[in-house]
Copies of this chain bind each other. A is one copy, B any other.
């Protein structure tokens, strides 16, 4: 991030109208990606869903990939806030993990559109997954340092976490899961990371912050 670009940005403050239209477009894209998937969503549909004209889209994004990218960033940002807000002052890695995994699956219950978009986007592009998984990786390492988690390989442990959580979200979206699903999924992940069954149970029963 160079000074110059910052200065340029400062020089032409984004107008309120422009910001609003961009939000309309991003929200529309997110809804459609969730509903129909990334590949099946046409640009004119996004424009129509946002209530603007076809051409307006191109005042904001140059290509379709650019919207997909922007939507991913937006999804990731919401995640970050989610994670940060939830577990800011929790220091035990196991507890952090219990919170994070449950929040994700819970979010699929609360905001299926968001969850569907996350799944859709994360299966269509490899990049954003890394971004989304960053906090998990952080807690994983923390847990090992704290002697809470025992695992031989970081990549495999991340597979356990991200794979199980994503599958859990899908189960929620497809109606196979009950209200307990966030806790159940979190419990299995914790056991996989070496937490005893009893403690895992206890951890996932604590109220979410």
Contacts and interface: CB of A to CB of B under 8 A. Distances in A.
Interface of A: 37, 39-40, 123-124, 126, 150-153, 155-160, 162-168, 170-171, 174, 176-178, 180-181, 184-185, 187-189, 191-194, 197
A162 B184 CA distance: 15
Contacts of A157: 188
A153 B172 CA distance: 13
Interface of A is mostly: helix
Contacts of A163: 162-168
Contact of A160 (B155, B156, B164, B174): B164
A174 B126 contact: yes
Nearest to A181: B156
A184 B153 CA distance: 7
B194 A171 contact: no
A159 B123 CA distance: 16
Given A156-B184, A160-B192, 16 more contacts: A37-B39, A123-B123, A150-B197, A153-B181, A155-B184, A156-B187, A158-B167, A159-B167, A159-B188, A160-B185, A163-B164, A163-B166, A164-B192, A166-B167, A189-B192, A191-B193
